[in-house]
Amino acid sequence: MSKVLDNFVKDGYIYLQNYFNHNEMEILDKEYQLLIRRAKNILSFAVKNNISLKEFYQQNPNELVVVPEISTSLKVCRFEYIAACSKLMSEIAVRKLENLISEIMGQQFILFKDKCNIKEPGGGAFPPHQDIAAYFHFKPKFHITAALMLDNSNIQNGCLEMATNYQDFYNESKDQLIKTCIGNLPILNFEKGGKSNGNIEDIICKKLSWQPIEANIGDVILFHSFIPHCSKANISPYKRRNLFFTFNLQSEGDFYQEYYEIKKQDYNNPIFHVSTPTSHDEL
C-alpha cells in the first residue's frame, strides 16, 4: 500500500476501478431507491404542510437530511445521514470503504459524514471548492472522502474534476497552512457568504488546472479535504448519482452524530451549504 499512499499524498486523490462488484451495486442501488423515495416524501411533506426544512428537522431529529435544489423545493439535490438511516449502506459501503482507507493510511479512520448527490438532467454545477471549508468548524482537521459511483459519470453529466496543480499555492503567504497526517496543506482563499459561499476565489481558480475523472458504476474516487474539486452541470438526458462517504482519523474523535445534530438544529447555516446549488442563510 506504500505506493498507493505515495500517489495519494502527491496527487490528493486515487481512482479505483470496479472496487464494488455487480452484486454489491445492485443491493446499493435498490437501497438508494428506498432512500430517494423517503427524501422526496420529506420535501413533499414540508411543502404540503407549509413548514421550513429547518422546522422539520427540529421536530424530526432522526430523519434523513434532505436538501433541495435552489430552483425548486421539490427537487432533491442531495440527501445525508445515510449510514444512520440505512443498515445496508452502513454494512456494505461504509464498512468496506472504512477498511480500505484505514489500510491505505496505516491508521484507523471512522465515518464523519455522508451524502448522496443527485444531478438530474439540467442539475446544477458544484463550483471549485475545498471540502475543508465546510469542515474546519469541527475538531478533525483532515478528512478523506470516498465517492462511489451509482451511475456512470462523464463530462456530459457532470463528473468530478480534480485540481492537478493546487500544491503550487503552498508558498502563497495569504493561504493558511494546516498541519495534517500527510503534511502541511493549504486552505485557499474562498468566498464567505452569499450565493458563492465556499467557492475558491476566482483569481485562484483561473490558475488551477483540472482533470475530469470519468468513472463507471462501482468505481471509487478517494480524495482528501484539501484538494480543490468541482463538477459541471448535467447537460445529458440522464441523471448522475454519486455517494460520498467522508472519514476522519479515529484518534481525532467520533463526530458523526454531533455533526448531524448541529446540522438539524441549524439547517440553513452556510457552513452546511458550501459550493452547492442550494439555498441558505447569509453570514
Summarised one tens digit per residue, pLDDT across range 55-92 is 999 999 999 999 998 878 898 999 999 999 999 999 99
Least trusted range by pLDDT, from 151-155, 160-164, 235-239, 275-279: 275-279
Cβ atoms of 123 and 77 within 8 Å: the answer is yes
Task: List C-alpha distances in Å: 54 to 36, 60, 193, 206, 241.
Answer: 19, 10, 19, 36, 25
pLDDT at 258 over 80: yes
pLDDT at 283 over 90: no
pLDDT for res 45? 97
Whether residue 280 lies inside any domain: the answer is no
pTM: 0.93
CATH code where residue 146 lies: 2.60.120.620
Cβ atoms of 97 and 148 within 8 Å: the answer is yes
CA distance 76 to 68: 4
pLDDT at 278 over 60: no
Whether residue 278 lies inside any domain: the answer is no
Cβ atoms of 9 and 185 within 8 Å: the answer is no
Each residue of 182-240: pLDDT tens digit? 998 888 888 887 778 888 999 999 999 999 999 999 999 999 999 999 999 999 999 99
Q: Which residue has the cell 463507471?
A: 216
Please report which confidence band the pLDDT of residue 280 belongs to, taking 50, 70 and 90 as the band edges. very low
Whether residue 171 lies inside any domain: the answer is yes
Whether residue 283 lies inside any domain: the answer is no
Least trusted range by pLDDT, from 57-66, 93-102, 124-133, 172-181: 172-181
pLDDT greater at residue 23 or residue 136:
23
Whether residue 282 lies inside any domain: the answer is no
Q: What is the mean pLDDT of the chain?
A: 91
Where in the sequence is the domain holding 6, given as residue range(s)?
2-272
pLDDT for res 102? 98
Q: Find the mean pLDDT for residues 8-33.
A: 97
Cβ atoms of 245 and 168 within 8 Å: the answer is no
Strands across the sheet with 160-163, in order? 126-129, 229-231, 160-163, 210-212
Whether residue 279 lies inside any domain: the answer is no
